[in-house]
Amino acid sequence: LQFTEEKLGQAEKTELDAHFENLLARADCTKNWTEKILRQTEVLLQPNPSARVEEFLYEKLDRKVPSRVTNGELLAQYMTEAANDFGPGTPYGKTLIKVGETQRRLGAAEREFIHSASINFLTPLRNFLEGDWRTISKERRILQNRRLDLDACKARVKKAKAAEAKAAVT
């Protein structure tokens, strides 16, 4: 009732401290930017949306995400197979073997980067959103409910005093 009357402009609303309002605004801003950064980093690390969905499902089911071959590793595999077809002794075969080995190392470095970024960068962001932010939201709801209770009590006291004053006058 108090909330509805406040929204309709029929009841007074206790204003929170300006510093606290500033902290709430900063918390909202932090949450919004953290979500955007998390999503965009996931897109950068795994551009394929269906693979991201698959990884998300594995994560939610508490299962290990199967290891994927990176594009560099796949290219290295093709180059090595091509080198074997052409013959490792031919100039083209030797070149394919060298470039394929370099691509394999690049692919392994990319896999390590993705793994490291996921653990060291994305995990803390998720922990904030799933842990700290939930706590902030819960405490914010509790504060809002307490403020509404306070304002409702203030309104009842005000009505009671007005009734006493009216009774005293008559």
**pLDDT tens by residue, 31-66:** 999 999 999 999 999 888 888 888 888 887 888 877
Domain boundaries, the chain: 1-9+16-168
Question: pLDDT tens digit string along 65-91?
Answer: 777 888 999 999 999 999 999 999 999
In this predicted structure, what is the pLDDT of residue 104? 96
List pLDDT tens digits, range 7-35: 666 667 778 899 999 999 999 999 999 99
The CATH code that applies to domain 1-9+16-168 is 1.20.1270.60
The answer to whether the pTM exceeds 0.85 is: no
Average pLDDT over residues 155-163: 88
CA dist 169 and 36 (Å) reads: 62
Average pLDDT of the residues of the chain: 90
pLDDT at 101: 97
